[in-house]
Amino acid sequence: MLQKLKEHKFLFSELVKRDFKKKYKGTIIGMGWSALSPLLTLLIMRLVFTHFFGRDIPHYTIYLFCGNLMFSYFKDSTSQGMEALSANAPIFTKCNVPKYLFLMSKNVESLINFGITIVVLFLFCIIDGITFTWKFVLLVYPILTFFLFNLGLGFILSALQVFFKDVSYLWRVFTLLIMYVSAIFYSTSTYSETIQKLFYLNPVYVYITYFRSIIIDGVIPSVWVHLLMLGYAVVVLAIGMLIYKKYNHKFLYYV
Q: Pseudo-torsion of CA 190, 194, 198, 200, nearest 10°?
A: 80
Structure confidence at residue 242 (pLDDT): 92
Do the beta carbons of residue 123 and residue 65 sit within 8 Å? no
Q: Give the tens place of pLDDT for each residue, 149-199.
A: 999 999 999 888 888 888 888 999 999 999 999 999 888 988 899 999 999
Rounded distance between C-alpha atoms, residue 55 and residue 52, angstroms: 7
Structure confidence at residue 226 (pLDDT): 97
pLDDT band at 80 (very low <50, low <70, confident <90, very high): confident
Structure confidence at residue 73 (pLDDT): 93
Structure confidence at residue 205 (pLDDT): 97
170-173 long-range contacts, CB within 8 A, separation 24+ = 171/78, 171/79, 171/82, 172/79
Q: Give the tens place of pLDDT for each residue, 193-243.
A: 999 999 999 999 999 999 999 999 999 999 999 999 999 999 999 999 998
